[in-house]
Amino acid sequence: MSNSMKYSSAILLENAHQTAGEFSVHISKYDENLGELTILLEIRDAGEETKKIIKHIIEDSEYHYFHSIAREPEKALEDALQKVNLGISETLKHTKNDWLSHSSLLIAACCNGEVHFAKVHSISAFLISRDNGSDEIIQITENALSEAVNPVKVFSNIYSGTLTKDSAILFVSDSILDYVSQEKLRKISIDNSPKEAISELKTILKKAPGTKMFGAVICKAVDDEETVPIQKGKDVVKHELRTIKPIAQSLKVETPEKEPEIQHIKNIAHLYQKSGKKPGSRDGKSFMNKKIVLAIVIALIIIVVGVKLIGFLKTDNNRDNSEKNQTQVAIQTFEENVALIQATFIEAQNDLIVDKKEEAKQSLLQISALVSALPEDAPEHAREKRLLEKKVKTQILLAEGVGLTNATLVAELTGISATDIIRKDDDFFLIDTLSGDFHHLSVSSPQPIKLDVTTAGEIGKISRSIDETGDGIILYHELGTLAELQIQKKTIKALEWNRGWKGAPLASEIYQNKLYVVAPENKIFKYSSSITGFTQETSWLKEGSAVSLDDATDLAIDSTLWVLKQNGEILKFFKGAREPFSFTISPPLTKPVKLFTDLDLKYLYILDAGTNRIVILEKDGELLTQLTAEEFSHVKDFAVDEGEKKIYVLDQGAVFMIKF
């Protein structure tokens, strides 16, 4: 099958929302490597709890498919279904078992002419093909209609194959078969475009009662230039691909030593025809067989042409051919190494799901070494290596006890190199220290808006934000003093700062109108607020306090003063004296850059930029949680809404929201 063969698709949804159930079709965002994931879902006699469970299954399927390290759709689907199976088996332990018997689900991956799908219960799949002038319709899943569902392995079979030009695959709810014969389905599908076929089906189904739910998807193979967009009905839900926390990720599942792999059904021996011809007969072709025949023909052509070309090659071309062969060998070696990495990576992910963290970590460390050894001899190899490194790094964190969470995109920051984010109620202010620009961002309107501010006084390039206070944000600039951004007035004015030392502060914070600064030579100074700025410098540490502060990175105050150091240590002070404080974090912090708390907050929040991780501690040192997300690439700052249990994370080029 040529990669130029694509799909023209159309969707039918009629009477989709009923008191006794609902039918929906979910289509993922198209991915360049893995194509599109289509999910048909029917729920009968379902309560709200069942609908939530099914929604999680759909979300998990999308998440695991598009985040699989496997690059081939078939392997990625198998990987995703293995994880979904584990999640369902755990869910069944805590819910009533009847929800599964009331649900039908089909998950299909379509990419570059290939189709791979798995199903549960009563959604049928038909292959409609034209061969030597005659048309045929094959009910691919007829054998599976009466199969009992194993609650430990709900998705047990993957049907795989390739659509040839003008052939089609049809996924339909069984309710449609009560009103439309297979022969009619064949004729409608083969003689029309998908859009026209759906229109004819709708006309036929208008005679059915309004309480009958109908759902169908028709995918027809066409040349690339013939491809048309998917035709969507009003009830279709078009999901943007987003990061979703998989249910299975946080579940501990008791499983056998080795999970049975999902069976792949690829030949006619496993398929039945409506015509009653025996499996394996001449007319009973699987659509996978056509792919194999085509591959053999192409291989023979290549061999013949290759032999003929060798006879015409000249001696002075040998060097060029040698270089080409070496390049081909390098590509082949790279692909083989990546295939090995992918296989081991999937095993490690499965170990994580069943809480075998030590086994997963050892596998991931081996994978990390293999990824590091991959060459970067081509731009596409370099990009793939970076992607693998990021995925492996994240999975190692999970094996070490860090939680993976959803990261919801709040705003994209195209062209904005923000380094600081400051929250004031439902508004956020971003500081771009490279350009000196300020941007306003609202949760209700997440489009960053540049603030046009006027300057009052002599102010240098902004280096960092100090703290927000009242209507303003206090800033430190390169002239060695302070400024205040007055938000309502859209003015930035110079502030007076009377101090007896030089250099930039190592860390600083404002608490009860007092400015506290960690200065070089292990000093902490306090300044009183005045109309013009901050004055009356006093040493805050008690005399004789022997403490090393030269590697301080941040400061937070809630009546207690907390200092975060580059080595991951947190020092606790009260009324100028150091107090005992200890905590344990695994893995250790590698590049801690921010510490945040306040008098009204219950926890200490730490940003470790080295691992794109946010750590949350009780104030007695007990670890509450530590979180990362696969969307994070280079986390710079964060803002906390503890009441809503939300953290807004400033990443490179985006702002995300995570919940804890």
- Residue 150 gets which letter from DSSP? B
Please give the average per-residue pLDDT across 486-511, as a whole number. Answer: 94
- Nearest C-alpha neighbor of 617 from the set 600, 593, 601, 636: 601
Among 20-29, 36-45, 90-99, 168-177, the least confident range: 90-99
- Nearest C-alpha neighbor of 444 from the set 421, 423, 424, 427: 427
Q: Name the 3-class secondary structure at 526.
A: strand
Banded pLDDT at 513 (limits 50, 70, 90): very high
Ramachandran area for residue 13 (φ above 0: left; ψ -120 to 50: alpha; else beta) = beta
Domains of the chain: 5-292 (3.60.40.10), 319-401 (1.20.58), 408-659 (2.120.10.30)
Return the structure tokens found at 148. 């009992």
Please give the average per-residue pLDDT across 326-337, as a whole number. Answer: 63
Q: Is the pLDDT of residue 470 over 90?
A: no
245 against 194, higher pLDDT: 194
Banded pLDDT at 630 (limits 50, 70, 90): confident
Please give the average per-residue pLDDT across 637-654, as a whole number. Answer: 96
**What is the predicted pLDDT for the residue at 641?**
96
Please give the average per-residue pLDDT across 159-188, as a whole number. Answer: 87
**What is the predicted pLDDT for the residue at 97?**
55
CA dihedral 54→59→60→66, nearest 10 degrees, is: 150
**What is the predicted pLDDT for the residue at 305?**
40
CA atoms within 13 A of residue 141's CA, in its CB half-sphere = 27
314 against 441, higher pLDDT: 441
Please give the average per-residue pLDDT across 177-204, as a whole number. Answer: 89
Banded pLDDT at 266 (limits 50, 70, 90): very low
Q: How far is CA 304 from CA 324, 392, 634, in A?
A: 20, 43, 52
Q: What are phi and psi of 123, to 5 degrees?
A: -125, 125
- Can you name the residues that pair with 157 across neighbouring β-strands? 263
Return the structure tokens found at 442. 């609202």
202 sits in which H/E element: helix 194-205
Please give the average per-residue pLDDT across 458-466, as a whole number. Answer: 92
pTM for the whole structure: 0.66
550-583 confidence digits (pLDDT tens): 999 999 999 999 999 999 999 999 999 999 999 9
79-99 confidence digits (pLDDT tens): 888 888 877 776 776 666 567
Q: Is the pLDDT of residue 432 over 60?
A: yes
**What is the predicted pLDDT for the residue at 279?**
33
Banded pLDDT at 250 (limits 50, 70, 90): very low
407 against 238, higher pLDDT: 407
Q: Is the pLDDT of residue 53 over 50?
A: yes
Q: Is the pLDDT of residue 520 over 50?
A: yes
Q: Is the pLDDT of residue 291 over 70?
A: no
**What is the predicted pLDDT for the residue at 238?**
33
**What is the predicted pLDDT for the residue at 44?**
77
Q: Is the pLDDT of residue 599 over 90?
A: yes
234 against 505, higher pLDDT: 505
